[in-house]
Structure 1
Amino acid sequence: MARMKILIVEDDRALADVLAYNVRQAGYEVLSAYDGQDGLTQAQVKTPDMIILDLMLPVVDGLEVCRRLRADPATRDIMVLMLTAKAEESDQLIGFSLGADDYVTKPFSVKVLLERIKALERRRRGTETTTTDVVASQGVTIDRRRHRATVHGKPLQLTRSEFRLLETLTRQPGRVFDRSELIDAALGEDTVVMERTIDVHVRALRRKMAEFADLIETVRGVGYRFRDPGASPSSDADADTDEDYAEPAGISRI
């Protein structure tokens, strides 16, 4: 099996060198960039499997880098691990809303960071070995092999986490998933985040589904479900609101 290629985008060269050394010692191929524009260029040209991305970067900041990566079909499937000193809850929610696969705050343990990298690698391998490639329900079609989602034939431009979230819900219409189950499905079992992080992804997904957003129902006090075929919205579901959730100001969508 080929070694996973990891691009480190970090403007602190001393830290970048320490990261590169440890990631290389762990068996990965390493690339380095010291500003956001160079990071984008290398992502497009060298197609790494994962990017360790600082947020406070010169030329192009890390959030904009992530936004552009997810907007470009050539780079949107690259895993992104944000590594930053911005540790506020709102910062993490913004990062995940832009399509980050994981979020690690500085200062950090190199050993813990390597375990987070391994967790993302396991998640990718698990995705690649799933046997059922296409699932469809009520006009929504998910093609895992092509990483393509459509609703009544209209393509949906989804982040990696939104794609996994929609697939999880669509595979079992009518089943209620609590937030922790959806975090495991969309972000990975090894990801440690706030439960309401999943509300960010649900809200973004509903916006992209537009008039078909009500297929994803909020079950009060529990979580979410994909509407059961043939069933009408029931009294325990509210398709248009995310319970007890207020989106932080400043979140941008891709």
Structure 2
Amino acid sequence: MAKNKHKVLVVDDEPDIVEILKYNLEKEGFEVKTAPEGKKGLEIARKFYPELILLDIMMPVMDGVETCRQLREIPELSGSFIIFLTARAEEYSEVAAFDVGADDYITKPIKPRALMSRINAHFRRENKKSNKDTEVIKIGKFTIDKSSYTLLIENEQVTLPKKEFELLYFLAETPNKVYGRDELLANIWGSDVYVLARTVDVHIRRVREKIGSEFIKTVKGVGYKFEWQE
């Protein structure tokens, strides 16, 4: 009997890896579709609306970084998890992945049990957030609705990828309170996901580009805050 009905898309050009992932995901009760490269992955994602996308970096036709960037431009996938699975362990590859909106980055060779544990941790944390964060934050010209992952700025909808949205929501919940990078990493990415501290800076920069740089302030040597004066 299926344990859940979450939909997962696996995009990888290595058939053996795809087969292993598909087998283990379906065993856990996930509904799985696969694609051998990025363009095909995008085509499937637009119809399938996966809640989780496992994405290789080095692929023919379209690489994983460009695929991720285009996935994050699809409004219906703004709440989807994107996890990179890659043989490349260089820091610049990891930074590039998070820069285009990845939620996690796992190096190959893949250990199926550890991967399933990591995936389930993402969904457990999301369920806790969904149960807790149901109200809408209205602050100045912003309306931030966590239940639907929608951001309105002066009644115009602005699309933010999942982690950018969660970062904005978290900071706007307590205006003028300063949070360090470690606090933001723990609250947005979770303690069971290893990401670089620089990831926070990248996401802050991207949020500023979309909402205006005057709202999220840097407190030198400390961290970031959502600045708001009544």
Please indicate, yes or no, whether the TM-score normalized by the shorter chain is above 0.5: yes
Residue 3 of structure 1 aligns with an amino acid whose one-letter code is K
- Equivalence for 2:111: 109
- Per the alignment, residue 46 of structure 1 pairs with 48
Q: If the length of structure 1 is used for normalisation, what is the TM-score?
A: 0.83
Residue 69 (1) aligns with residue 97 (2): no
The 3-state SS of whatever aligns with 2:65 is helix
User: What SS does structure 1 have at the residue aligned with 2:75?
Assistant: coil
Q: State the distance in 2 between where 1:114 and 1:76 align.
A: 22
SS of alignment partner, residue 224 of structure 2: strand
Distance 2:170 2:101 in 1: 17
Q: Which amino acid aligns with 1:221?
A: G
**Which amino acid counterpart does residue 107 of structure 2 have in structure 1?**
T
Q: Deviations over 1:26-76 (max 9, x none)?
A: 332222211212211211112222111111122222112111111111333
Q: Is the 8 A contact 1:9 1:36 kept in 2?
A: yes
Asked if the contact 2:85/2:108 (under 8 Å) is kept, the reply is yes
Task: Tell me by how many angstroms 1:109 deviates.
Answer: 2.2
| Inter-partner Cα distance in structure 2 for 1:207 and 1:8 | 30
| Equivalence for 1:200 | 202
Question: What aligned pairs does 1:16-165 form with structure 2 within 5 A after superposition?
Answer: 16-165=18-167
Tell me if structure 2 keeps the 8 A contact 1:136–1:171: no
**2:224 aligns to what?**
224
Moved more, 104-113 or 196-205: 104-113
Show structure 2 runs of 5+ residues with no match: none
Task: List runs of 5+ in structure 1 lacking aligned partners.
Answer: 231-254
Residue 2 of structure 1 and its aligned partner are, at CA, apart by 4.2
Q: Percent of aligned positions with the same letter in both sequences?
A: 38
Shift of 1:228: 4.2
Calculate the TM-score normalised by the size of structure 2. Answer: 0.91
* Aligned 1:176-215 pairs, distance under 5 A: 176-210=178-212, 213-215=213-215
Of 129-138 and 200-209, more deviation after overlay is shown by: 129-138
Deviation of 1:99 (Å): 1.1
- TM-fit CA distance, 1:131: 4.3
| 186-195 or 214-223: bigger deviation | 186-195
Letter in 2 for 1:102: D
Separation in 2, partners of 1:97, 1:227: 24
Letter in 2 for 1:216: I
Q: Distance in 2 between matches of 1:97 and 1:71?
A: 13
Secondary structure (helix, strand or coil) at the match of 1:107 reads coil
Q: Which range is displaced more, 62-71 or 26-35?
A: 26-35
How big is the shift at 1:157?
2.5
**2: distance between equivalents of 1:186 and 1:118?**
16
Distance between the aligned counterparts of 1:15 and 1:2, measured in 2?
22
Q: Read off the aligned partner of 1:58 and give its amino acid letter.
A: P
